[in-house]
């Protein structure tokens, strides 16, 4: 895969994702394990290759030890001892050795080897993983806090425009909502049938490799039905009980506790994300009821299609993903019958957001702005819609277009 990277780089087909380069470069050369986590094929490896290229330009003597657990050439590395022996064999003395391990969770007890590597000043260690539970409490304890996790997402809207050489206009936004932000799509023919075939194959890989095989799932038919249900209802408030009740109406029986287990598996593979409900009055997280969104809209659309009737779901999903990409902890606000689509919190920042299709009627305006007006604090409050132009504000609440929102690299100010 590194050879492929250099070939694509030489042909000018690799584009740097500066958001992640800025996050990871401050930790380069430090005795920390740098862990990039995220869904399969979101570009974790290429982000590391880009970093490696930059580091080697500064110090050409650097030696790279690369292990890709999706490559059969590395199939013999199955546990921590195998990993340690391979790295020792490949190490060059007197130079900095960059260790890159792709899909590290495929190596049994890998954390023991990583702990040993970071004790050696000659090693600079990076790894990627497609499992949200990669940095479990046990691993965090074993590494003693000597790691940094960097969450990688599919292409944001501005990256999507850059990768696909598109202008920032409404047609480009609709294309983004339709095919999503998987980086590899820009290297395929611009034929949506071909692109969706790629996405279908990717979805199957995630389901069967990261969920069915890893967790020993037997009821594959139910897993497929569950994910299609979530795709059809993304952005709706659900609990395991309500999902169970709905599936019973479709003659599908599964206990709520088992449904919750399957949902957690989907979350662990980064296929979906969760927004818990936050009680605006009691300042607490509700015990039941949350929203689920897809980490990639293209994968969501391969399951249930792209329908104009789903546009509100897609807008909400895009807003949720962008908030997460900007580093916000995202919840859904609830106070009585009043619901605020998203509360984004990061460090000392907080922002409230309502997402809707068009502000084409007085009742829609009253609903979207009214929900935010009911919150009596001084944090920013925005309404995001697909209208061609945003109005300046309404009683202190800002209205911007979805295109403007997704083009923001910061929500401050």
| Burial label, 128 (beta-carbon count in 10 A; 0-12, 13-18, 19+) | buried
C-alpha neighbours within 13 Å on the C-beta side of residue 8: 16
Among the ranges given (239-248, 347-356, 380-389), the one the predictor scored with the smallest mean pLDDT: 239-248
- Is 144's pLDDT higher than 60? yes
Q: What are phi and psi of 180, to 5 degrees?
A: 80, -165
pLDDT, average across residues 318-334 = 96
Angle between the N-to-C axes of helices 256-268 and 220-232, in degrees from 0 to 180, rounded to the nearest 10: 80
Query: Does residue 119 surpass a pLDDT of 60?
Result: yes
> Of 1, 62, 50, 56, whose CA–CA distance to 21 is shortest?
50
Q: What pLDDT, in 10s, does the model give residues 151-184?
A: 999 999 999 999 999 999 999 999 999 999 999 9
297-334 core/surface letters (b: 16 or more CB in 10 A; e: else) = bbbbbbbbebeeebbebbbbbbbbbbbbbbebebbbbb
Fold of the 2-151 domain: Rossmann fold (3.40.50)
Residue 357: both structure tokens together: 């299709």
Q: Among 201-210, 227-236, 246-255, which stretch is predicted with the lowest mean pLDDT?
A: 246-255
DSSP annotation of 362 reads H
pLDDT of residue 137: 56
Is the pLDDT reported for residue 14 higher than 80? no
Listed in sequence order, the DSSP H helices in 78-191 are 80-90, 110-117, 137-143, 157-164, 170-179
Lowest mean pLDDT among 132-141, 219-228, 285-294, 335-344: 132-141
pLDDT exceeds 80 at position 202: yes
Q: Are 46 and 183 in contact (CB under 8 A)?
A: yes
Q: Does the pLDDT value for residue 12 go beyond 80?
A: no
Q: Are 344 and 323 in contact (CB under 8 A)?
A: yes
- Alpha-carbon distance 303 to 316, whole Å? 18
Whether 240 shows a pLDDT value over 60: the answer reads yes
pLDDT number for residue 408? 96
Task: Identify the band that residue 16 occupies on the pLDDT scale cut at 50, 70 and 90.
Answer: confident
Contact 236, 336 (CB under 8 A): no
**Please, are residues 332 and 277 in contact by the beta-carbon 8 Å criterion?**
yes
Greater confidence (126 vs 50) lies with 126
Domain ranges of the chain: 2-151, 157-406
Confidence of residue 149 (pLDDT cuts 50, 70, 90): very high
**pLDDT tens-digit series, residues 396-409:** 899 999 999 999 99
Q: Which residues pair with 33 in a beta bridge?
A: 147
Return the structure tokens found at 48: 């590391």
Span 189-213, mean pLDDT? 96
Task: Look at residue 262 and tell me whether its pLDDT is greater than 80.
Answer: yes
Cα–Cα distance, 130 to 138 (Å, whole number): 18
Would you state the structure tokens that stand for residue 97, as one six-digit string?
């050795």
What pLDDT score was predicted for residue 413?
62
Q: Residues 67-85: pLDDT tens digits?
A: 999 889 999 999 999 999 9
pTM of the model: 0.93
Q: What is d(CA 294, CA 154) in angstroms, rounded to the nearest whole number?
A: 11
8 pLDDT above the threshold of 70: no
pLDDT greater than 60 at residue 4: no
Q: Who's near 243: CB < 8 A, 6+ residues apart?
A: 226, 229, 256, 259
């Amino acid at each position: 895969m590194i050879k492929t990277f250099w070939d694509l780089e030489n042909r000018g087909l690799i584009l740097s994702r500066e958001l992640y380069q800025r996050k990871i470069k401050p930790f380069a050369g430090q005795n920390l394990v740098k862990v990039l986590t995220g869904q399969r094929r979101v570009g974790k490896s290429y982000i590391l290759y880009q970093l490696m290229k930059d580091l080697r330009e500064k110090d050409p003597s650097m030696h790279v030890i690369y292990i890709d657990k999706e490559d059969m050439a590395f199939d013999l590395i199955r546990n921590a001892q195998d990993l340690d022996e391979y790295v020792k064999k490949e190490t060059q003395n007197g130079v900095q050795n960059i260790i890159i391990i792709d899909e590290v969770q495929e190596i049994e007890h890998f954390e023991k080897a990583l702990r040993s590597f970071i004790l050696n000043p000659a090693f600079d260690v990076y790894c990627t993983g497609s499992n949200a539970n990669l940095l479990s409490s046990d691993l965090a304890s074993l590494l003693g806090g000597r790691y940094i996790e960097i969450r990688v997402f599919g292409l944001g809207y501005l990256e999507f425009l850059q990768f696909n050489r598109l202008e920032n206009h409404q047609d480009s936004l609709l294309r983004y909502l339709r095919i999503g932000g998987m980086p590899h799509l820009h290297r395929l023919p611009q034929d949506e049938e071909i692109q969706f075939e790629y996405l279908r194959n990717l979805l199957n890989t995630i389901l069967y490799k990261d969920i069915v095989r890893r967790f020993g799932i037997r009821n594959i038919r139910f897993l497929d039905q569950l994910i299609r249900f979530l795709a059809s209802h993304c952005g709706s408030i659900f609990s395991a009980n309500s999902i169970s009740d709905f599936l019973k109406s479709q003659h599908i029986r599964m206990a709520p506790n088992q449904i919750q287990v399957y949902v957690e598996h989907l979350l662990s593979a980064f296929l979906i994300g969760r927004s818990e409900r936050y009680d605006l009055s009691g300042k607490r997280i509700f015990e039941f009821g949350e929203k689920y969104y897809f980490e990639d809209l293209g994968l969501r659309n391969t399951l249930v299609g792209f329908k104009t009737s789903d546009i509100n779901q897609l807008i909400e999903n895009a807003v949720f993903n962008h908030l997460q990409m900007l580093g916000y902890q995202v919840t859904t606000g609830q106070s009585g019958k009043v619901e605020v689509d998203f509360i984004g919190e990061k460090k000392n920042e907080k922002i409230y957001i309502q997402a809707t299709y068009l502000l084409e009627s007085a009742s829609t305006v009253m609903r979207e702005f009214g929900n935010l007006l009911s919150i009596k604090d001084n944090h920013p409050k925005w309404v995001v819609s697909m209208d061609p132009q945003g109005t300046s504000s309404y009683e202190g609440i800002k209205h911007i277009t979805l295109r403007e929102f997704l083009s923001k690299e910061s929500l401050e100010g």
